[in-house]
Structure 1
Amino acid sequence: MRVSLSDTDILAPNFKKRLSGVTSTIVQLVPVQRKMGIRIAAVGRGLPDDLPHVNLRDLAGLWRRPASGKKFRIWHARRNVEMLAGIVMRDVLRMKLKVIFTSASQRHHKKFTKWLIRRMDGVLATSGRTASYLEVPNTVSMHGIDLEQFRPPQSAQDRFAATGLPGKYAIGCFGRVRHQKGTDLFVDAMIELLPRYPDWTAVVAGRATAEHVGFEKELQEKVRKAGLADRIIFLGEVPFVSADPAGDSISAWYRRLDVYVAPSRTEGFGLTPLEAMASQTAVVTSDAGAYPEIVIEGETGYVVPSGATMAPAIENYLRDPALAAQHAEKGLQRVREFFPLEREAKTIGDFYQRIFEQT
């Protein structure tokens, strides 16, 4: 849905065509922010047609003030290239613009990135750990979840039995199949544990891009040799949402699980544990990304060191499915209280207001 630049106070650029976590954040946040009265629009490539947006050629109008009467607009960058574009428009082209940046990185920044960040008018961090790597004042705004899309089971279709797969209970690992995401750590844990727990079936959902196809095939061969091909199921890529309400989607698969495992070796933020918890599913995660700030150890799930074996923590649930159900209920309560998408939108909206109050 194209909107007028004159009626837009904040721009959320997306300069990467392929789907990414940043793109997903923009797609989910912008409609919620507009419902809250924030005059924001996306701009860039790889965005849904129904997302409120302005065209790139509309940016020529940034020399003029918005119709709201504000003295400038805000350019909300989430990548280096978007920060650079904002700096050029503000400092070289002298457009009426303030530039802010959201950082999700949990590592020491390179010199060029530090140079860009120092030139921001404001900086947000997606977690406390991310904030610790920033050398400038910042505000923490943790990601939230769409609690309508990710919800507890409500029908027979939401139960694992509806899949027709063997077993009584399900444990899953979703996301891109690659070493960085720790898919092998999940598979290794399942090969170790499932022979002792015949009521459980494991599910891996996600795409292996061309450079990681060999990695996925090695995992599948390891599963075959272990004689577990009928109990460790590789679903491949599953749609984020389904046009058919009864069709398969990642959100539906979360609801069918009793336990979700996020074994990433490295992560920027990592939304999947929140998506699982919102679906009333217990979680076991590594300590990558924001996972330790999301999961309450021994209450909503378990956290293990990144790269370490996941099996001991997972076995707590395989041994006692009632414990998984108990932690799942507490995880759902935690997400509803602290991680709704509307809360993230409000935190960012308050930050925008502080920027607009700058002279």
Structure 2
Amino acid sequence: MTEVKNRARDSGAVDMAQIDVVAPNLKKRLSGVTSTIVQLVPVQARDLGIAVVGPGLPDSLPRIRWWQLPALLLRPASKRARIWHARRNVEMVAGLVLRQIFRAPLRLVFTSAGQRDHQPFTKWLIRRMDGVIATSRLSGGFLEVPHKVVMHGVDLEKFHPPRTADDEYSAAGLPGKYAIGCFGRVRHQKGTDLFVEAMIALLPDHPEWTAVITGRVTAEHEGFAKELERKIAAAGLSDRILFLGEVPDIAVWYRRVTLYVAPSRNEGFGLTPLEAMASSTAVVASDAGSYAEIVTPGNTGAVVAAGDGAALREAIRPYLENPEQAAAHGAAGLKDVTQRFRLENEAAGLRAVYETVWANG
């Protein structure tokens, strides 16, 4: 036992006896789920024995190494059954295999962000969970089991209003006095084309504004991106509607833009409006995902029907005409997100679910 503890210490692995909650991340590619785990686990770890397991996560997180997995067959020092907090189907399956086949003393919790009727297999998995969480009222409406709504929070240390000269748009060295941003993967689902079409229609009348698009273009969406670039060039706006690709630090761009647009056609939850609001930036969003539960029309931004390009364009227009309105809504957004969407709020909501599961176990 001493040899195992020394190995854990030397490898930077956790002390399994102190781990009451496991947050698996069984997908290599970066996703919204991965981002949630990366931001949330350090906050949860302040007063809870929690660790991650799986690829694609930074070494700064408390981590279970693969050779430590047999320790899941034993109870921790608290003598409670560990909670396995899944956020994907594959993680629910893994938890069930550990419990049903290997007889690991686990209690299974699942967070559902999906805003659609689940497939039969997913429903079957969810029915076998000991606790179920929905990330919004809308996603909860598609669940057929008792659940608790715990909305995501945002890291207010990483996402914050401008503090230094580098946070100002002028530091980017791009044209114009104000910037309007659209961040995320460039693809049809994210509504990048709706944003571009709105910019082609609006920017000629607003010469002080520049549109900034960041995010990765995967191979399957290269044709989509090239067609957008062709339309921009045909409109003579290649110097004012800019594709920056993946940027080293997206947080600074939320601070540099005066208005953020989230035009997705569909989403799971969708963190970008929260990140913009935490940066004191006004938001125009579709009603995809949880956007309509995050943005307050007329106070922190505007919300339009997903996929409605004309409505998106007209919702953006007043902000371009009146940057002071954007600043006012940005300030209101910061106040709102600080009250309603702190990471600590999310961590507390999850802890309440864990305690209920333990009490019922």
TM-score by length of 2: 0.95
Within 5 A, what are the aligned runs for 1:1-359? 1-35=12-46, 37-70=47-80, 72-239=81-248, 249-309=249-309, 310-359=312-361
**Alpha-carbon offset, residue 225 of structure 1:** 0.7
Cα deviation, 1:45-74, whole Å, max 9, x if unaligned, reads: 11111210112332212221101232x110
Cα deviation 1:175-207 (Å, max 9, x = unaligned)? 000000000000000000000111111000011
Distance in 2, matches of 1:333 and 1:50, equals 30
Deviation at 1:161, TM superposition (A): 1.1
CA RMSD of aligned residues (A): 0.9
1:95 Cα deviation (Å)?
Answer: 1.3
In the alignment, residue 180 of structure 1 is paired with which amino acid?
Answer: Q
Task: Answer with 60-69 or 216-225: which moved more.
Answer: 60-69
Equivalent residue pairs, number: 348
Mark the runs of 5 or more structure 2 residues left unpaired by the alignment. 1-11
For residue 166 of structure 1, give the secondary structure of its aligned residue in structure 2. coil
Q: Which runs of 5+ in 1 are unaligned?
A: 240-248
SS at match of 2:345: helix
| Residues 96-127 of structure 1 deviation map (CA, whole Å, 9 limit, x = unaligned) | 11111000000000100000000000100000
Query: Aligned-pair distance for 1:132?
Result: 0.3
Match for residue 243 of structure 1?
none
Deviation sequence 1:115-152 (CA, Å, 0-9, x none): 00000001000000000000000000100000010000
Distance in 2 between residues matched to 1:293 and 1:137, nearest whole Å: 21
State how far apart, in whole Å, the 2-side matches of 1:23 and 1:127 are. 18
Distance in 2 (CA, whole Å) between partners of 1:86 and 1:163 is: 46
- CA–CA distance in structure 2, aligned partners of residues 90 and 139 of structure 1: 23
In 1, Cα distance between the equivalents of 2:353 and 2:99?
Answer: 19
What secondary structure is seen at the aligned counterpart in 2 of 1:344? helix
- Match of 1:7, as an amino acid? Q
Write the distance in 2 (CA, Å) between the matches of 1:185 and 1:57: 48
Shift of 1:89: 1.3
2-side partners of 1:225 and 1:84: how far apart? 50
Name the structure 2 match of 1:245: none
Deviation string 1:255-274 (CA, Å, 9 cap, x unpaired) is 00100000000000000000
Task: Look up the match of 2:7.
Answer: none
The CA distance in 1 between the partners of 2:342 and 2:112, in whole Å, is 20
The match for 2:8 is none
**Deviation (angstroms), 1:171:** 0.2
Name the aligned partner's letter for residue 263 of structure 2.
Answer: P
Amino acid at match of 2:63: H
